[in-house]
Structure formats: C-alpha cells, structure tokens
Amino acid sequence: MKFQYLTKKQLRERGIEKEIKKNESLVFDFMPRILGHQFMANPILSRQLFRERPVDGTFSLEQDGYTQLGLKYLKQKQITPALECYKFVLKSQTGFGDFVSSLNGAILLSPKEIQRMNLGGPLEDKLVKEFSNKKIKVTMKDYTHWVDKLRAAYKLCNILDTTDFSNFPNLCVEIEVFLGMWGYAEDHARQTKDKNLIHRAKLFMPREILDVKWLSKYAEDNWPESSYDRM
C-alpha cells in the first residue's frame, strides 16, 4: 500500500473529499485530517469515539473548559487526553444551536463549505503544529472508509435504539461498543439481562482519561450556573 504524507496545505484540510448529508455529519467530518487520523489509529481514543462529555454544562464551559484542559495536557506532553479534549471542543462548535443543519438550508454539505467554516482555535492550532512535525502515514481512502463506516454504524444504532431495540438488543449493544458509547452500551446490556453481554459492555469501558475534578472545579469557578446542570 502506498502512503501519502500530508503537505502543508493538507494539514488544514478537513473531513473527507465528498458531499455528506448534514443530518448525518459527524465530528470527524470537521477535523483536520491529520487530527482525525489520530482517532482512527490511537487504541485509546478509538475505544471512546462517541462517549458523552465527562462534565457537561454551558457552551462556554464546553469551549473554554475543555480547551484549557487540553492546552494543559499539551504542556505536559500528554497528547492523547489533549486530543480527547479537542474532540469535545469541536463537537460543541459544530453542534451548538443546530449549527450544521442551519447552514444555507441545504441538505448536503460540501468539502469546500466545511473548509470555509470558522472552526478551530488555540487547541487545534497547537495540535496541528504538534503533528506537523511528524511523518504521519495516512491515505484519504482509509480515512474516508473509516468515517463512512462510523456514519453507517451510528445511523443504524439510532434506528435500533428508537424503533427496534427489543428485537435486536444484542446487535444494538455490539454497535455501541464498536462506537465507544460508554454508558449506553452498559445500560442497554442490563436491559437484556444477558450476563455475558453485561460483562462485555463493562469490560470494554476504558478508564477515564480526563481530569474530571479539574473540569468540575473550572466550571464552578467560572460559570457557577453550569453546576446546576450536573445536579
């Protein structure tokens, strides 16, 4: 297999090179590919792709709190948790106020439109710089295949969860495990009362890699009202 090293221009190119339905877009459609590739290749990040934020709150918390924690991890050369923080920051940027769905009222989202979006920030800039100094082996074909596979699995998971869970509970849990949806997989496994499935769902859950205490304190110090969301 021939690998393509990213050029300086490609370092800032986001997502995949084809149109996607806005209501099926994923956070990985908006990442610079050099960062998105890390979630595909990193064995820790790839096990928790669609898990919920460990500390939820206001939009400001989701932007500033996770950005500051990510920058803190970068200073400590802890790249994996810094990337996890970045994922939550970008997810907040692209999901707040139905941001994506409202763009131009169109059904499809083009690569050019994604590239023109005002996304990113200091954490993204530093992460891109971090990986630009390394020779990352990546192909557009592999990244596109990975994102499309996640998209199909996420879509099927939503269908099963909302309309047909009782008929295919094991399949729903297996997909949630594949997608890294922590709490959902365990909750649905318990509903089946299948001990082996419950054990598998528990076994798959990795340890928390983010400093939850730091995030909670940051939220309480800067946006006390956000703490009510966690009560």
Question: What pLDDT digit, counting tens, does each position of 58-67 carry?
Answer: 777 778 999 9
Mean pLDDT value across residues 193-202? 87
Predicted confidence (pLDDT) at residue 99 exceeds the cutoff of 80: no
Which tokens in the block code for residue 215? Answer: 């995030």
Let me know if 10 is exposed, middle or buried by CB neighbors in 10 A (0-12, 13-18, 19+): middle
Which has the higher per-residue pLDDT, 89 or 12? 89
Q: How many domains are there within the chain?
A: 1
The string of pLDDT tens digits covering residues 169-192 is: 888 899 999 999 988 888 889 988
CB atoms within 10 A of CB 41: 14
- In this structure, are residues 131 and 42 in contact, taking their beta carbons and an 8 Å threshold? no
The string of pLDDT tens digits covering residues 151-173 is: 999 999 989 888 877 788 888 89
The secondary structure element, H or E, covering residue 42 is none
* pLDDT of amino acid 62: 79
Q: What percent of the chain has pLDDT over 70?
A: 85
Sign of the dihedral through C-alpha 6, 91, 56, 177 = negative
* pLDDT of amino acid 28: 95
Let me know if 186 is exposed, middle or buried by CB neighbors in 10 A (0-12, 13-18, 19+): buried
Predicted confidence (pLDDT) at residue 57 exceeds the cutoff of 70: yes
Query: Helix, strand or coil for residue 229?
Result: helix
Predicted confidence (pLDDT) at residue 4 exceeds the cutoff of 60: no
| CA distance readout (Å), 218 to 210, 221, 223, 224, 231 | 13, 5, 8, 9, 16
* pLDDT of amino acid 6: 57
Predicted confidence (pLDDT) at residue 90 exceeds the cutoff of 90: yes
Predicted confidence (pLDDT) at residue 98 exceeds the cutoff of 60: no
* pLDDT of amino acid 69: 97
Mean pLDDT value across residues 122-142? 85
Q: C-alpha 147: how far from its chain's center? A: 11
Which has the higher per-residue pLDDT, 208 or 96? 208
The secondary structure element, H or E, covering residue 111 is helix 111-116
* pLDDT of amino acid 2: 45
- Cα(42)–Cα(22) distance, integer angstroms: 27
Instruction: Residue 63: name the closest of 182, 223, 170 by CA.
Output: 223
* pLDDT of amino acid 122: 95
Q: Please name the residue that has the structure tokens 């690569």.
A: 111
Residue 5 pLDDT grade (very low, low, confident, very high; cuts 50, 70, 90):
low
Range of the domain at 131: 4-230
Predicted confidence (pLDDT) at residue 31 exceeds the cutoff of 90: yes
Average model confidence (pLDDT) for the chain?
84
